[in-house]
Amino acid sequence: MPTIRTVAIVSKPRSAQAARIVPELLAWLGQRGVAARLDEETAAYAGSGAGVARPEAVCQAGLVIVLGGDGTLLSAARAIAGRGTPIFAVNLGGLGFLTAIKIEELYPQLEHALGGNLDIERRRMLRTELWRGGVKIAEYDGLNDMVLAKAEIARMIDLEVHVDDAFVCVYKADGLIVSTPTGSTAYSLSAGGPIVLPSVQAWAITPVCPHMLSMRPVIVPDGSEIRIDALGADHATYLTIDGQIGELLNQGDRVVCRRSEHSVSLIRPPNLLFFDVLREKLKWGGT
């Protein structure tokens, strides 16, 4: 009998694959006596009105099944909010660095997971605080990155950066990314940042299209505190977390990034190495 008796299912919206898989998956779980809590997208695929918001769906589950791409997983990770619930992520998207389980592996791998045979990889999250006038007005945990980007067309922004007590520089650029190792294969990679193995305890600071070509990505220990002051006018800079949530900044706002006390538990297929994923996803040479 399964060790895990209740799962949550989080699905990518507007997905023909999810619409096909969800009814089959619910029937499969029901045959094994496993209860399922559904987010609103999953409930729509099931033809049910029993869907709830993602934080509520995952709060009492022993396992979270994600049907989608990396974006769906990032949303689920924030909804779990540090509970440590393992995430079983099935790739219905395109690239899918984090959603490593393929559709054809869904049921064999899920059988193992429900029985408690979990090969878990823990990924540290990044805590981002927004300070205005000396008062903390917001804080976020993200799995991939914190991004400060220009909010106006064809206008660079000025960002003053300190790492702990050391002044780094004032970046004049289209934006700045503070990335976790998990997020190093996302936006940071597109902006020329380094690929960082998940086991490395570090953050990558990557400028986006800097005015000075000599401004290159910097790796700092994940025990560091990164302080970034927005020097531009009100609403010239936009803060985003994992590319999904955020807000406009005012002049003089301070963004502080540090290691979160929370981590995300990803279930990985047995014997799948990080370099195996890189070769497959990035089409690197070799077999």
Counting DSSP H helices and E strands in the chain, the numbers are 7, 16
Q: Rounded to an integer, what is the distance from CA 90 to the centroid of its chain? A: 15
Task: Give the containing element (helix H, strand E) for 45.
Answer: helix 40-46
| Among 105, 83, 117, residue whose Cα is nearest residue 2 | 117
Contact present, 227 and 255 (Cβ < 8 Å): yes
CA dihedral 280, 144, 259, 251 (to 10 degrees): 150
Which strands sit side by side in the sheet containing 237-241, from one edge to the other? 218-221, 202-208, 175-179, 145-150, 237-241, 245-249
Identity of the amino acid at 79: A
CB-based contacts of 275, cutoff 8 Å, min separation 6:
none
**String of DSSP letters for 185-196:** GTHHHHTTPPP-
DSSP state of 195: P
Three-state SS for 48?
Answer: coil
> Alpha carbon of 85 to those of 65, 228, 263: distances in Å?
10, 32, 10
- The yes-or-no answer on residue 70 being catalytic is yes
Contact present, 201 and 223 (Cβ < 8 Å): yes
- Point out the catalytic residue in the list 70, 141, 145, 242: 70
Identity of the amino acid at 115: G
Active-site amino acid positions: 70
